[in-house]
Structure 1
């Protein structure tokens, strides 16, 4: 059994979220999070009732500035990670210049199948499913109400 044999079975389109939502600051990490999970699909395979279960195992964000970020996990929000906003993560990307960009997600799945409730059997190969395109507006921002350079005094007021 190969991925070609299960072509009529497909996982749903993965979601592609980011924080901050839809925008980023030049030189600071924007955090990307894929929304993909294990999914089971039912149907007919080789003339028999079957189920195919898809497991996400890889994530790739292709940014329109030429950067590619690959990960084995879908990423998590800064709050879930217990990190401050604009902290680098395994799935983050920092844009070097202002502009309008896109981030295209692809999720790689492995799959297994079974007939009529039998044991699950792994299928050779992987399947890459494109996710939703994320629009990213990147700009330069100045902070106000600070007592000085936040890089030099990160605990200062407004930093």
Structure 2
């Protein structure tokens, strides 16, 4: 890191001795990887040395010039299987050996003509939600195998759902390897939070865009299955959620039996 000291032309240079004596002060700014220090003279009551300074004033300035030009890389989406985040991938069998000599390396672009069925999904309550309470979203996808011609040879491509995403109208993205499940199957009461739930903060009509993330593997002519680097995201049909506010009302009995009763 480069340090440059700039001093006003009308004053002498601010040296370390004068700085330690309290005669001048130093301020600094950091721009990218360069730290620029500017020496500025100050009037002090007793410039004879640091021992003459007040107890509350430091005898020497501490300057930090630690700066990084590159911001830290953002973490991978939680629970989504990617080459940088392989932990959620837990398929049966291990990574097979490299392709035999002469067999091409298959990429996601090569299998563009092989597509899994468009994923589906559901939500609870169906089509509506309450402001401030969790709405439960449920993904639906399964392992699928497609047959066809790949790079001029008979082949099969198998798709594994490894992640589920819901992009909400407020910009929130819920991403998980868990497709979710109904509250009843989870043993939870209605409007309980789940790994796939979302709380809407405002009333109105809110679109939700669900999608499923797949990892793919292939094989030629019945050979060993081999994984393809990367993942493929397939959009599911969008969901429109009507969100409103909910008020509780105390009643004395069943309003269907006594519709004119208190609170009905």
Matched, 1:136 2:241: yes
TM-score by length of 1: 0.88
Partner of 1:98: 203
8 Å CA contact 1:56–1:107 kept in 2: the answer is yes
Candidates 167, 176, 182, aligned match of 1:71? 176
- Between the aligned partners of 1:89 and 1:50, the Cα distance in structure 2 is 40
Which gives a bigger RCO, structure 1 or 2 (Cα 8 Å, sep 6+)? 1
Partner of 1:40: 145
Compared CA separation, residues 60 and 99, structure 1 to 2 (3 A): same
Q: Runs of 5+ in structure 1 lacking a partner?
A: 148-159
Deviation at 1:117, TM superposition (A): 1.7
Compared CA separation, residues 146 and 67, structure 1 to 2 (3 A): farther
Deviation at 1:144, TM superposition (A): 2.6
State the Cα RMSD in Å. Answer: 1.3
Deviation at 1:98, TM superposition (A): 0.6
Residue-pair matches, total: 147
Map 1:56-67 → 2, pairs under 5 A: 56-67=161-172
Between Structure 1 and Structure 2, whose CA radius of gyration is higher? 2
- Between the aligned partners of 2:251 and 2:130, the Cα distance in structure 1 is 18
Candidates 110, 116, 120, aligned match of 2:221? 116
Deviation at 1:49, TM superposition (A): 1.3
- Between the aligned partners of 2:251 and 2:150, the Cα distance in structure 1 is 64
Matched, 1:85 2:194: no
- Between the aligned partners of 2:178 and 2:219, the Cα distance in structure 1 is 26
Task: Deviation per CA, 1:8-56: give whole Å up to 9, x if none.
Answer: 0011111131000000011000000111111111111111211100001
Q: Where do 4+ consecutive residues of structure 1 move more than 4 Å? A: none
Task: Deviation per CA, 1:63-112: give whole Å up to 9, x if none.
Answer: 01221111111111111111111000000001011110011012111100
8 Å CA contact 1:16–1:133 kept in 2: the answer is no
Deviation at 1:138, TM superposition (A): 0.3
Larger displacement relative to structure 2 (137-146 or 127-136): 137-146
Partner of 1:52: 157
Partner of 1:155: none
Partner of 1:152: none
